[in-house]
Structure formats: C-alpha cells, structure tokens
Structure 1
C-alpha cells in the first residue's frame, strides 16, 4: 500500500468537496470533514488486511458504522498474508503461518 498516494487521495476526497460545495458555510464543511476523517478508520483497517484503500474510503464515508464492523470482521486476503510472511503450500495452495514447517491443511512438509 502506497501511503503517500493514498493520503493525498484521501485529503482530496475529504477536504476538496467540503470547501468546494460549502465555501461560505462552515457547518457543512465541518460535518463533511469530520465524516471523512472518521471514514479513515475502517479504510486503514481494510487496507492493512489487503483491500483497496480508495473504494473502502468511499464506502466508509457513505456507510461508516457498517464499514467499521465490516472492516473488523474481514480476514486477510492472499496479498496481505504474503506481505506478513505466510507460506503458500505447493501441494494444496493454502497459506500457513511463517513459523509452520508442516501444512495445516494437507499435512505435508512445507518447502522453505
């Protein structure tokens, strides 16, 4: 995940519309900005689990509470597991923890 690119896009999505839509109204801009920064919580959680940051940011801005619960219950995808050092079994294709020497699924020895 490229933090700098995602941070720039997040600022544009959060602050941009707030001050373009409501240039003279501080209340609307403040609500939009607060909502945007709250939306970062589920977006970052989902990005750490291997999901795309920008779609999750938009999803979180619209349905914050649902996105927060959703980001807490989703599991790591294959990309996130590889980044965390998990091993893919050459026989069955399941991922095993980094310290595993035997596949938890098929029971065969993992090749280092």
Structure 2
C-alpha cells in the first residue's frame, strides 16, 4: 500500500510521519506539503500514487482538491486533525501520529 502524508510545508508534521513509518517494510510512505514554500510540494503524481492520503488538517484536503480539481470520491483521504503545534520528531507528535495512523495500517 502507498501512503502519503500531507501538511503545509512538509517540515514538521508530514515529514515526521514519513520518518517514523518509512522503514516499516510493509508499506511505501512519502510526504509532501501544500504550500509553495514546502520542502517537497505535493503534486498530482503523489496523489495518484497514494492509496491513502493522510492530511494533517481539513484545509490540506481542500487545498489539494482546489489545486488539482479532483473528484474527492476517487481518493481515500483521512483527516488527522493535527494542528501545527509540533516540531520535527516531537515525541507528542509521534504518539498522536501512531495513535491516529496505526489503525489504518
């Protein structure tokens, strides 16, 4: 299964998620951001690659839909509701991600 994590700038939340899951071995993981200043900007190739798209906030799903003019029924989005209050690899963020994402894996 291909899993994409998305936040705004791909510096803290989505990047942390990719880092903690990428060596798991059972699935493929990538991360990207919705902003022009993102470390890795989300593109249509990412969206089409992913079986599940975990977005940190509802606004990320909305930005993706608007940018790529998507019919969202064709994609599997999960809104994690994780606000931008964490640094990269913050222990609290890691725990929230594991509690939120693990049931889908």
TM-score relative to the length of structure 1: 0.25
Structure of greater relative contact order (alpha carbons < 8 Å, 6+ residues apart): 2
TM-score relative to the length of structure 2: 0.26
Bigger radius of gyration among the two: 1
